[in-house]
Amino acid sequence: MNPKVLAIEPSMIRAIAAKKQAGAIDLGIGEPALLPQQRFIDAAARWAAEHGVKYTVNAGDVALRELIAAHYAFPGMGAARNVCITTGSQEAVYVAIKTLLDPAVDELLVVAPAFPAYAKMAQLEGIASRAVHMRADDDFRYDVDAIVDAIDPATRMIAIASPANPTGRVLRDADARRLAAALLARPGAPVWILQDEIYRELTYVDDPGSIADYYPYTIVANSLSKSNALTGMRIGWLIAPGEVSDALVKTHAWVTSTASSFGQRVALEIFREPGALQEHAAWYRAQHGSVTAALEESGLRYVPIDGAFYACVRLPRGGDAMAAALELVERRNVVAIPGGTFGASLEGWLRISWVAPADDVAEGLRRIAAL
C-alpha cells in the first residue's frame, strides 16, 4: 500500500461527531441547516428529462464557466478558460495543491488556525507543509507581516481561507492589498496564493478583501456548499490564470474526469439568477446577531465573528480541549470540536458552529461555560 495513505490519521472532527447521542445539541456540524432553493433542483431535473445527464468537457460546462468568471471578474481571470468546475471545493483545493507544487522541492505554507484539509492533502502528496500561526492575543486577526515573514525559499504556495474556518476571521480589503504588494515586491519566483472563499457569501463586516483582486498569482477555490446549502451537490470551482488553469484541468481530468453535470446545471440556474447566491445570507446575518449576544451572555472569551458560521471559544478554566470535547459529547450532550484540530495555536479552545437554532446554540454555550 501507499505509505502516505497509511500515515494519515483519521479525522478528529468525525471521531467526535461519531460519539453524538440522541437529542444532543450539535455545535460540531460544518454544513448549513437551511434547505437549498428547490426551484434550481427542479429546473435541473426538467433539463435532465430533455437532455439526459451527459458528460461535460473536463473543465465543466462552458456557459457555467463563463457566468462564474464574469460574476467574480477577478483581473486577468474573467473568461471561461479561467474556471474549472470540481467535485466540491475539496477536489478544487486538492487539485490546486497537487498541480502547483512539486513534492521534491516546494513547500505549502498554511495560514493557521486552518481547516486541516490543506496540510493533510499536502501530506498525502508528499509535499512539505508548515503553518504560520495567527495570534490568540490578537484574536487570530490576519497578520500580513507575520504571513510574509514566514515565507522561506521553498515556499511556493500560501493557503489562506477568508472567511476562515475555524476562526470566522475575514481578510480585510486593506490587508489583501498589503499582502499583494508585499508578495509582488519579493524577488525571485512568485509565491502562489490559494485563496479558499467557500464562506465568501457569509460576511458580517463592511470591507472583506480578495487577494485575487490585487495579486495575479492567485488561485481561488469556492463552491455552492455553504452559500446555497448544497454541501451534498459537490459543485465547486477553481479560478486561475490561463496556463495554470489548463494544468489544473489536466489533473482534474484524471482524478474525477468531470464534475456532476446535474450539479453543474443547478449551478447554472443559480448563477443566472441575480441574488441567488446571497439568498441565505439574511438568515446568517440575523443568526450572527443572536449568537454574538449569546456569546456575550455566556461570559466565555470568544473570537469576533467576521464571517462564516463558526465561533472559537476559550475553555473557561483552561485545560485540554480534547478532554473537554469528550466530556461535552459524552456527558453534557453537546458536540463541539477541539481547537487543536485546526492547529497548535487553537489548543485550549473549542470551535462551535451555529447553524442550529439560536436557543440551542445559547444553551450549548451555557454548558460550555459551566465546564
Q: Which among 342, 315, 76 has a CA at the least distance from the CA of 212?
A: 76
CB of 102 to a second copy, least distance (A): 5
Indicate left, alpha or beta for 139 from its phi (over 0: left) and psi (-120 to 50: alpha): left
Asked if 188 interacts with a second copy (CB under 8 A), we say no
Residue 137 in the binding site for a second copy (CB under 8 A):
no
Comparing CB distances to a second copy, the nearer of 38 and 318 is 38
C-alpha cell at 285: 446575518
By CB under 8 A, is residue 117 in contact with a second copy?
yes
Instruction: Check residue 35 for interaction with a second copy (CB under 8 A).
Output: yes
- Does residue 247 bind a second copy (CB under 8 A)? yes
Set of cell numbers at residue 296 = 456575550
How many residues line the site for a second copy (CB under 8 A)?
Answer: 64
Residue 295's identity, in one-letter code, is L
Q: Which helix (H) or strand (E) holds 222?
A: strand 218-223
> What is each CA distance from 154 to 32, 189, 191, in whole angstroms?
38, 10, 9
- How is 174-216 classified by DSSP, letter by letter? HHHHHHHHHHHHS-SSPPEEEEE-TTTT-B-SS-B--GGGT-S
Give the single-character DSSP code of 188. S
Q: Which helix (H) or strand (E) holds 149?
A: helix 144-150
Binding a second copy (rule: CB under 8 A), the pick from 110, 111, 112, 121 is 121
Q: Is 100 in the site for a second copy (CB under 8 A)?
A: yes
Smallest Cα–Cα separation from 322: which of 346, 300, 302?
Answer: 346
Interaction of residue 88 with a second copy, rule CB under 8 A? yes
Closer to a second copy at the Cβ: 104 or 282? 104
Shortest gap between Cβ of 243 and a second copy (angstroms)? Answer: 10
Q: How far is the CB of 131 from a second copy (least distance, A)?
A: 18
Binding of residue 129 to a second copy (CB under 8 A): no
Among 150, 213, 256, 283, binds a second copy (CB under 8 A): 256
Please, are residues 356 and 364 in contact by the beta-carbon 8 Å criterion?
yes
Identify any residues that bridge with 192 across adjacent strands, giving them in sequence order.
157
Among 152, 187, 206, 254, binds a second copy (CB under 8 A): 254
Q: Is 42 a binder of a second copy (CB under 8 A)?
A: yes
- Per CB under 8 A, the segment of 228-236, 325-333, 346-354, 363-371 that binds a second copy is 228-236
Of 39-47, 66-74, 173-181, 279-287, the window that binds a second copy (rule: CB under 8 A) is: 39-47
* Closest approach of a second copy to the CB of residue 18, in Å: 9
Q: Is 112 helix (H, G, I), strand (E, B) or coil?
A: strand
User: Is the distance from CB of 325 to CB of 14 less than 8 angstroms?
Assistant: no
- DSSP letters of 31-77? S--SPP-HHHHHHHHHHHHHH------TT--HHHHHHHHHHH--TT-
Q: Which set of grid coordinates corresponds to residue 260?
A: 456532476
Tell me the closest approach of the beta carbon of residue 2 to a second copy, in angstroms. 5
C-alpha cell at 289: 446577531
Q: With CB under 8 A as the contact rule, which of the stretches 178-186, 193-201, 214-222, 249-257 interacts with a second copy?
A: 249-257
Which stretch in 45-53, 77-85, 147-155, 278-286 sits in contact with a second copy by CB under 8 A?
Answer: 45-53
Where does this chain bind a second copy (CB under 8 A)? 1-3, 5-6, 8, 10-11, 14, 31, 34-36, 38, 41-42, 44-45, 48-49, 52-58, 87-88, 90-91, 94, 98-104, 117, 120-121, 124, 229-234, 247, 250-251, 253-264
